[in-house]
Amino acid sequence: MEALAVIEPLDLRHELNTIRLAEKVARLPVQHWKGYLQPNARLKTQTTFLAATKKICEKYGLHWLISVSERMPVTEISLSVGRAARKEDTTREELRSRSLETLAELYPVDCWVRIYTDGSADQVQRKAGAGYHSSGLFEGGLALSLMSTNFDNEVRAVSKTAAALLSLSRSPTNVVFVVDSQSAILALCSPYVPEERSTLTSKRVLGALILKGWRVVLQWVASHCGVMGNEKADERAKKGKRSEWINGEAYSSSDNPMDGEAGGGERMNGG
């Protein structure tokens, strides 16, 4: 009857649901399951959940695509600036005022490294770029793949700057990445391992910063509201978008190479 109705057998559905639940448990950002040694059974006729999962994996030759060691630290985030309100219902001046107030109150420049990132994509001309700016530290813009979306560009900008910060010889402190894409922030703070390569790379670099001792926060600000750092990152992203994408390599739109990188185009100041 199940075959005639093209319905999966009930036993198979039970096995699929068991595997799905096991993978969800494995992706949780907790250390409990790393060293947990489960008993084979509670009763002679009843196996435990993990023992049943192992048996199903052996039955079908399944192997996890992720490992427990892939668990990455979860980044802190903030998706608001001041009082809750829709961006569409708030004036540009008010958004700017709230953004500057939030940055000054939560991330004072004497205690925090502020990094502004932005992405730019032109679907008509099929050009894309990412930009970033950190006062007194570095700034740059780079061309990205013709198929990149604004989301991809935002994530790449965070990844690039996080890697640059990781390479600096300075003691870990507090760093806030100021991003104008809430979807990018949510993807980067998720405890799950993403399918997108760029997002996974960025999460790994952010995790490396945290493991090194940095306190990392992703802070949202509204785009094009007059926040100087965000506007400079946007300008760099647009310059990067106008640069050439050659042989799958991203070329920066700035003039001076980043310290320690040959042929790049980012500008980095010492310290």
114 shares its domain with 15: no
- 10 Å CB burial of residue 130 (0-12, 13-18, 19+) is buried
55 shares its domain with 91: no
Mean pLDDT of 179-205: 87
| Position 267 pLDDT exceeds 80 | no
| Position 248 pLDDT exceeds 60 | no
Range of the domain at 43: 10-70
Distances (CA, A) of 42 to 18, 118, 157: 18, 54, 51
Q: What pLDDT, on a 0 to 100 scale, did the predictor assign at position 28?
A: 67
Mean pLDDT of 109-131: 87
Q: Percent of the chain beyond pLDDT 90?
A: 30
Q: Which residue has the tokens 């790449």?
A: 156
> Please, which residues have CB within 8 angstroms of residue 48's CB and are 6 or more apart in sequence?
38, 39, 40, 41, 42
| Position 7 pLDDT exceeds 50 | yes
Residue 133 forms part of a structural domain: yes
Contact 243, 143 (CB under 8 A): yes
192 shares its domain with 212: yes
Residues 67-90 have pLDDT tens digits of 444 556 678 888 887 665 566 667
| Position 92 pLDDT exceeds 80 | yes
201 shares its domain with 132: yes
57 shares its domain with 83: no
Residue 196 forms part of a structural domain: yes
Tokens of 101: 């107030």
Q: Percent of the chain beyond pLDDT 70?
A: 71
Averaged pLDDT score across all residues of the chain: 78
Q: What pLDDT, on a 0 to 100 scale, did the predictor assign at position 174?
A: 96
35 shares its domain with 122: no
Mean pLDDT of 259-271: 38
Confidence band for 244, pLDDT divided at 50, 70 and 90: low
Q: What pLDDT, on a 0 to 100 scale, did the predictor assign at position 185?
A: 94
Number of domains in the chain: 2
Mean pLDDT of 84-111: 84
Residue 2 forms part of a structural domain: no
Q: What pLDDT, on a 0 to 100 scale, did the predictor assign at position 12?
A: 87
205 shares its domain with 252: yes
Residue 4 forms part of a structural domain: no
Q: What pLDDT, on a 0 to 100 scale, did the predictor assign at position 247?
A: 40
> Please, which residues have CB within 8 angstroms of residue 60's CB and are 6 or more apart in sequence?
none
Q: Which among 182, 184, 194, 193 is positioned nearest to 162, based on CA atoms? A: 184
Residues 150-189 have pLDDT tens digits of 888 999 999 999 999 999 888 899 999 999 999 999 999 8
- 10 Å CB burial of residue 27 (0-12, 13-18, 19+) is middle
